[in-house]
Amino acid sequence: MKLLHIDSSALGANSVSRGLSAAIVAEWKAHHPGLQVEYRDLDAEPLPHLTGAALAKSDPAQAAEAERVLEQFLSADVVVIGVPMYNLSIPSTLKAWIDRIVVAGRTFRYTAEGPQGLAGGRKVIIASARGGLHAGAPTDFQEPYLRQLFAFIGIHDVELVRAEGVAISPEHREQALAGARARIDELVQPLAKAA
C-alpha cells in the first residue's frame, strides 16, 4: 500500500495542518508497517505556476517534473493533504500541485454526458486548518473546493479532519486541536485499521 503525504502550510513548525497531517499519517503507519510513504512539502519544494510554457511542455525539465508529480499521485492508494485556509481558499502552492494532477485524459475526460473522473479508487484525507470559523459559511472556498475537485477526477472517498477558529484565541485553538485529534482517533484510526 502506498500513501502520499502532502503539506502546504507556510508556517513551518507552528503549522496546525502539518501537525494534523503528520498525526493522520502516523495512524496509517501504525496499522500498516509495510506502508510506503512518499512526502512532498509544497512550501519547501514548490512547483511553478502553470504557465503557457508549462502547458506547451517547452521546458523538458519542468515537463518531466509535472509527469513525476502526476505519476506519484496516481500510484498512491491514500493521499493525506495538510491544507491551511489562505484568503478564503487554499495556498497557491497547493493550487500549483492540483494543476499538475488534474489533467485531461489522465485523471478526467470530457464526454458528451459531461466530465468523467478517471482517478477513482483511492482515498483522500484532508487536514484543514483555519484562523476563523467558516464551516457551512459562504466564505468557505477551501474545503468545498477540494471536495468538488476530487469528485471531478472521480474521487468521492474524501475524509476531512478540521481545526478551525485557531486564531480567535488560545482557548479556541486548544479546543479546535482537541476536536481534530478526537476525529483522528474516531474516524481515521478505524479507517487505517480496516484498510
d(CA 163, CA 149): 21
The binding track of 35-74 with respect to ligand FMN, each residue x by CB under 6 A or -, is ----------------------------------------
Is residue 130 at the binding interface for ligand FMN, with CB under 6 A as the rule?
Answer: yes
27 vs 164, which CB is nearer to ligand FMN? 164
Dihedral sign (CA 45, 47, 49, 51): positive
20 vs 124, which CB is nearer to ligand FMN? 20
Q: Which of 6, 81, 85, 96 binds ligand FMN (CB under 6 A)?
A: 85
16 vs 76, which CB is nearer to ligand FMN? 16
d(CA 152, CA 14): 32
Q: Which of 88, 149, 187, 195 binds ligand FMN (CB under 6 A)?
A: 88
Q: Which residue has the cell 502552492?
A: 93
**66: closest CA among 49, 79, 89, 81?**
49
DSSP-derived 3-state class of residue 8: coil
Task: Looking at 49-142, list the stretches that DSSP marks H as alpha helix, in order from N- to C-terminal side.
Answer: 52-56, 60-74, 92-101
Query: What is the footprint of ligand FMN within residues 146-175 (CB under 6 A)?
Result: 166-167
d(CA 7, CA 22): 9
Total Cβ atoms within 10 A of residue 99: 17
Q: Least CB distance from residue 66 to ligand FMN, whole Å?
A: 25
Is 85 labelled as part of a ligand binding site? yes
Paired residues of 81 in beta bridges: 6, 126
Q: Which of 34, 60, 87, 111 binds ligand FMN (CB under 6 A)?
A: 87
Annotated binding site for FMN: 9, 15-17, 85-88
Annotated binding site: 9, 15-17, 85-88
Residues found near ligand FMN in the complex (CB under 6 A) = 9, 11, 15-18, 84-88, 129-132, 134, 166-167
